[in-house]
Amino acid sequence: MSTEPEVPANRAPTLTDVAKLAGVSVATASKAINGRDEVKAATRARVLKAAELLSFAPNALARALLGGRTGTVGLLTSDLEGRFSIPILMGAEDAFGAGEVSVFLCDARGDAIREAYHVRALLSRRVDGLIVVGSSTDPRPPLAGAIPVPVVYAYAPSTDPKDISITVDNVGGGRLAVEHLLACGRRNIAHVTGEPGFAAARDRAEGAAAALADAGLAMLGGQPYYGSWDETWGRAAAHIVVEQHPEVDAIFCGSDQIARGVLETLRDLGRDVPHAISVIGFDNWDAIAAHSRPRLTSIDMNLERLGAVAGRRLFAAIDGGDPPTSEQYPGRLVMRDSTAPSS
Amino acid sequence: MSTEPEVPANRAPTLTDVAKLAGVSVATASKAINGRDEVKAATRARVLKAAELLSFAPNALARALLGGRTGTVGLLTSDLEGRFSIPILMGAEDAFGAGEVSVFLCDARGDAIREAYHVRALLSRRVDGLIVVGSSTDPRPPLAGAIPVPVVYAYAPSTDPKDISITVDNVGGGRLAVEHLLACGRRNIAHVTGEPGFAAARDRAEGAAAALADAGLAMLGGQPYYGSWDETWGRAAAHIVVEQHPEVDAIFCGSDQIARGVLETLRDLGRDVPHAISVIGFDNWDAIAAHSRPRLTSIDMNLERLGAVAGRRLFAAIDGGDPPTSEQYPGRLVMRDSTAPSS
C-alpha cells in the first residue's frame, strides 16, 4: 500500500481510487466498505484506511446500494423566484430536525425536458423520494415515466387523483379574508384579484363569495374585479371600484402586490384606511406587506407547514403502511394596520 | 430468474434488489452494470434485464464509482428568500445548456452545523463540485474540513484569498449609478443606503464617492445616509435629505426597496421625479422597480451571469489545468422612468 493518495486534487475520489491505494480489487474494496463478511479483517482495515486517506465518503452510497433510507429528498420546482419553494423546502427539512434530511432543490423552470433531466439526476443520486412544487396552484400533470420512489405534489396538486397532493386551501383562504372583514363590521366588500386563468384567483373568489352569501350579502359589483397580480392593476382597480361603488367599505385583494396598489390609490384619493375602507391582501409577503402605508393585513398560506406536511407524508410513503391521502391546509390571518372595525 | 420485480413500491430499487432478481451476487451485479470484462455475456444480459425491470438507475452512481464527471453540482446557500441564489443557480446550469448539468440547491440558513451536514450529503452523492452562495456580499469563512472537490464562492467571497471567489463589483456598481446621474446633468447628489455593517453598503458608497470626486463634486451632506435596507427608511431619509439639502437634484439609493420609499416621500412632497429630482435604485428587483411611480431606474447585478461564470470556473477547476482566479463582475444600468436629464 502506498502512503500518498494519488487522486488528482480536482475530482472526488472513487471506489477505484480506494481499491488502487489499498492494493485490492474494486469488488473487494466494495465488499470491505459495505461491511460484508467475505473480506479478511486485515484487508478491510487497509481499505478503510485508504478510504479515510482519500476522504472517500461512501456512507450514503453504500447505504443506498444496500437499501434503506438515505436521508435525502429531491424538491423539483418551477418557481423562478424561489418565493414559494424555499419556505416549502425549509418546512420539509424541519419536519425531521436539522441534520436528519437534506432536501436538494432543482429548478425545472416550467420546462418538461429540463424536469425529466432533473428527475433522472435526482433518482440516480438515490433520493428517497420527490416533492414536486408547482409554479402556481393550478393542477399539473404527474411526473412523466415510471418513478421508482414516492412522490408528493405540494402547492399545485397533481391532475391524477391517485397521487398524493398537499395544497393550500385557497377557497378557505378567501373565506377567511372576508370573514375578517365581516367581523370588522364591513358590509360593502369588493374583491380585486389577478388573472381568472389561475385557479388561485378563482378559488379565493369562490371562498369570498361563499362567506358573503352566508352573511346574506353579495360581492360589490356582483363579481370579482379580475386583472393581473401586480400593483399597477391594484392602483387602477381601486379607482374603478371607488367610482362605481362609492359606498365601498372594504376591499379584499387576491395578492399583497394588488393590495399595495389599492392602498396607494386610496391614499391618493384621501380615503382613510383602515377606518373608511379596510384592505386585506393575500400571501403575507413581508417585503410588501410590512412596508406599505398602512402596513397590510394579509392571509398567510403557511408554506413552511405545507412543506413539513409534504415531508412527513413522503416519508410515510417511503416507510410503507397505509398510503397517505391528499390534503388541503388552511391559511391564517396576519393582522397589521390596514383593517379595523368601522368607527 | 423470477419475472416479477419484488421491490416494495415505496422505495428505490438497490443493487441488492437487482442482484436478487437476477439470481447473482451483488459483486457480480456490480461488475455487470459497470461493464467489467469478468462477467459472462449471458449473466450481464440477465443483470441488465433485472435492472431495467426494476427501473434501477445506475448510471450516475456507476460513473461516479468509476470516476469521471457526474454532471451534478451542489449549490449551498443561506439566502432565505432565494432572491439571489435562484438566478445564480439558473446561470450555472445555463453555462452548460439544458440537460448537461443539474444543480442541487441546499439551504444552510446561515447555520454552520446545517451547512456541514448538507456538504456531507452533497459529497456523498458524488457532486463534481460546489458553489457556495453567501447571504450577503460580506466575505465568509471557507467551508470547514477537507473538501475533496473544487469549490467556487459566488456573491460573497471566501475570506481565504487562495479560494476562487466570483463576486459582484459593488464599488463599480456605485460608480455606475452616480455616473448615470452625472450624465443626466445632476450635481447635488445624495446617497441613501442600508446598514453600514454590510460590505454592500460600504462598497457602493465608495464607488459613488469616487465618481463624484472624479467630477470635482462631493456627496450631499459629505457622507452617505446609512440606515436599513427597507422602504420605511427610504421614506424617512427622503424627508431628512430634502429638509437638510433643498438643492438636492438626485438621490442614489443602495437598494430598490429604499428607492421605493424615497419615491413615495418625494411624491407626497410634490417633488417632480425624474425632472426636479432623479432617483436610481440598486438590485433591479422587478416586483419593486417595475411597479413604482415612476418606474425605477436601477443597477442590475447580473446574477445569472455571475452564476454562469461560477459554473464555468468550477468545471475548469474540475478538469484541472491552470487554477482559476477570483474575479469581480460589474453590474449594468437598467433605465426606467425615475431618471432623466434636468430640464
Q: What is the pLDDT of residue B60?
A: 46
Which of the residue ranges A251-260, B109-118, B196-205 would you say has the lowest mean pLDDT? Answer: B109-118
| pLDDT 10s digits, B114-163 | 899 899 899 888 898 999 999 899 999 999 888 989 999 999 999 999 99
Residue entry with cell 392602498: A263
**All 3 cell numbers of residue A333?**
390571518
Q: What is the ipTM of this complex?
A: 0.79
Q: What is the pLDDT of residue B315?
A: 86
**pLDDT tens for each residue of chain A, 343 residues long:** 444 445 555 555 677 788 888 889 878 887 776 656 677 878 877 887 787 677 665 444 444 443 456 788 999 999 877 788 999 999 998 887 666 788 999 999 888 888 998 998 998 888 989 999 998 999 999 998 889 899 999 999 999 999 999 999 999 999 999 999 999 999 999 999 999 999 999 999 999 999 999 999 999 999 999 999 999 999 999 999 999 999 999 999 999 999 999 999 999 999 999 999 999 999 999 999 999 999 999 999 999 999 999 999 998 888 876 777 899 999 999 999 999 998 6
Task: Inform me whether the pLDDT recorded for B284 exceeds 50.
Answer: yes
- The H or E element spanning position A129 is strand A129-133
Interface contact flag, A121 B111, Cβ < 8 Å? no
Give me the residue spans of the domains in chain A: 15-58, 69-168+303-330, 170-301
Q: What is the dihedral of CA B207, B211, B213, B217, to 10 degrees?
A: -120
Round to whole Å and give the CA distance between B224 and B202: 9
Q: Closest Cα partner for A250 from A168, A179, A145?
A: A179
Q: What is the pLDDT of residue A98?
A: 60
Q: What is the pLDDT of residue A319?
A: 81
Interface contact flag, A102 B118, Cβ < 8 Å? yes
Average pLDDT (B5-23) is 69
Interface contact flag, B232 A291, Cβ < 8 Å? yes
Portion 324-343 of A in contact with B at CB < 8 A: none
Residue entry with cell 428505490: B12
Residue of A nearest to B121 (CA): A102
How far does the CA of residue A211 sit from the closest CA of chain B (Å)? 31
**Chain B residues with CB-CB distance to A17 below 8 A:** 67
Interface contact flag, B124 A58, Cβ < 8 Å? yes
Among left, alpha and beta (phi > 0; psi -120 to 50; other), residue A90 is alpha
Distance set, CA B153 to CA A35, A50, B5, B161 (Å):
37, 29, 45, 11
On the CB side of B128, CA atoms within 13 Å amount to 24
Interface contact flag, B10 A320, Cβ < 8 Å? yes
How far does the CA of residue A212 sit from the closest CA of chain B (Å)? 31
Round to whole Å and give the CA distance between A61 and B126: 9
Question: Is the Cβ–Cβ distance between A222 and A249 less than 8 Å?
Answer: no
Round to whole Å and give the CA distance between A71 and A94: 13
Average pLDDT (B222-250) is 98
Class of domain A170-301: alpha beta
Round to whole Å and give the CA distance between A117 and A108: 9
Interface contact flag, A64 B12, Cβ < 8 Å? yes
Q: What is the pLDDT of residue B65?
A: 41
Task: Inform me whether the pLDDT recorded for B272 exceeds 60.
Answer: yes
Other C-beta atoms lying within 10 Å of the C-beta of residue A240: 15
Round to whole Å and give the CA distance between B297 and B295: 7
Task: Inform me whether the pLDDT recorded for B5 exceeds 60.
Answer: no
Round to whole Å and give the CA distance between B215 and B342: 17
Average pLDDT (B224-238) is 97
CA B239 to chain CA centroid, Å, is 34
Q: Closest Cα partner for A336 from A282, A294, A287?
A: A294
Size of interface A-B (CB pairs under 8 A): 210
**All 3 cell numbers of residue B188?**
447635488
| pLDDT 10s digits, B297-316 | 999 999 999 999 999 999 88
Q: What is the pLDDT of residue B325?
A: 87
Average pLDDT (B213-240) is 98
Average pLDDT (B338-342) is 95
Burial class (CB in 10 A: 0-12, 13-18, 19+), A333: middle
- The verdict on B111 touching A (C-beta cutoff 8 Å) is yes
Architecture category of domain B15-58 in CATH? Orthogonal Bundle (1.10)
Q: Tell the CATH topology of B69-168+303-330.
A: Rossmann fold (3.40.50)
On the CB side of A27, CA atoms within 13 Å amount to 15
Q: Which residue has the higher pLDDT, B323 or A93?
A: A93
Please provide the DSSP assignment of A259-285 as one string. HHHHHHHHHHTT--TTTTSEEEEES--
Q: Closest Cα partner for A280 from A263, A267, A268?
A: A263
**All 3 cell numbers of residue B107?**
439551504
Q: What is the pLDDT of residue A10?
A: 52
Average pLDDT value for chain B: 88
Distance set, CA A89 to CA A77, B245, B247 (Å):
10, 47, 49
Question: Is the Cβ–Cβ distance between B200 and B254 less than 8 Å?
Answer: yes
Q: Which of B73, B118, B124 should we substitute to test contact with A (largest number of A Cβ atoms within 10 Å)? A: B124
Portion 42-101 of A in contact with B at CB < 8 A: 54-61, 64-69, 71-72, 79-83, 85-86, 89-90, 93, 98-99
**Residues B258, B262, B263, CA angle at the centre, nearest 5°?**
115
Question: Is the Cβ–Cβ distance between A71 and A60 less than 8 Å?
Answer: yes
Going by pLDDT thresholds of 50, 70 and 90, the confidence category of residue B101 is confident
Question: Is the Cβ–Cβ distance between B235 and A295 less than 8 Å?
Answer: no
Q: What is the pLDDT of residue B11?
A: 56
* Alpha-helix runs per DSSP H in chain A: 15-22, 26-33, 41-53, 59-66, 85-94, 112-124, 170-183, 199-214, 231-244, 256-268, 286-289, 303-318
Judge if the upstream peptide bond of residue A274 is cis by omega within 30 degrees of 0. yes
Round to whole Å and give the CA distance between B181 and A275: 41
| pLDDT 10s digits, B59-100 | 444 444 434 567 889 999 998 788 889 999 999 988 876 667
**Do the domains spanning B15-58 and B69-168+303-330 agree at the CATH topology level?**
no
Interface contact flag, B287 A82, Cβ < 8 Å? no
Q: Closest Cα partner for B14 from A120, A70, A106?
A: A70
